[in-house]
Amino acid sequence: MDTLRIGLVSISDRASGGVYQDKGIPALEAWLSSALTTPYKLETRLIPDEQTLIEHTLCELVDETGCHLVLTTGGTGPSRRDVTPDATLAIADRVMPGFGEQMRQISLHYVPTAILSRQIGAIRKQALIINLPGQPKSIKETLEGVKGEQGKVVVHGIFASVPYCIQLLEGPYVETDDAVVTAFRPKSARRDAND
């Protein structure tokens, strides 16, 4: 069976230049280790906010490394150096607008400036690429969603839809820890635990 391959790309001029330590990749690694029960392999990249370099990195992770999922962090705001969504759109085969819409909906529960985010989801070949926010707290909120006082999900996180999307792209069957995030898929697409 094909092992799930995930690319993590942190996009930051200052972190890639050694001005401060990158927090995006460690936050994503920690979240994935708590959320996924399916075995996976990671490919990580820390790069500056340069559109051609971001495009090249995304293409390399999808075309050469064969990643099923690529999560980027950083570079999604309105400033001139924030070019992650532009680079993603430039190399995408198809846009998945629901991911950006849902990420902004989640973030609006916490900050009114969520409307300034240009985060998107897109597909290139066999891979789903998602532009996540740059802050570790926001990354977790976006992936898991908004939870009420009793821990019940009020607004679904985007990762609830990621396993089924990977499945539709003919990637591996991805399972999650329900205590972190429940993977949703139609009954017809579910596999028995013994399969």
Give Cβ neighbours of residue 121 (< 8 Å, ≥ 6 apart).
95, 96, 97, 98, 99, 100, 128, 129, 130, 131, 158
Supply 11's token pair.
């996009």
Q: Average pLDDT over the chain, rounded to whole?
A: 94
Asked if pLDDT for residue 91 goes beyond 90, the answer is: yes
Residue scoring higher pLDDT (171 or 152): 171
Confidence of residue 1 (pLDDT cuts 50, 70, 90): low
What are the extents of the domains in the chain? 4-186
Mean of pLDDT values over 162-176: 97
Q: Is it the case that residue 193 has pLDDT exceeding 60?
A: no
Rounded CA-CA distance 41/55 in Å is 21
Tens of pLDDT, residue by residue over 97-151, are: 999 999 999 999 999 999 999 999 999 999 999 999 999 999 999 999 998 888 8
Report the candidate in 163, 128, 114 with the shortest Cα–Cα distance to residue 58. Answer: 128
Tokens of 133: 């926010």
DSSP string, 53-77: HHHHHHHIIIIIS--SEEEEES--S
Q: What is the pLDDT of residues 151-165, one digit of tens each?
A: 888 999 999 999 999
Higher-scoring residue by pLDDT: 45, 149: 45
- pLDDT at position 13 is 85
Q: Say yes or no: domain 4-186 is CATH 3.40.980.10.
A: yes
CA distances from 102 to 137, 139, 141, 160 (A): 16, 13, 11, 11
For residue 139, report the phi and psi dihedrals to the nearest 5 degrees: -60, -50
Predicted confidence at residue 152, as pLDDT, reads: 84
pTM, entire model: 0.95
Residue percentage of the chain with pLDDT more than 90: 84
Nearest to 9 by CA among 73, 83, 88, 82: 73
pLDDT for 14 equals 86
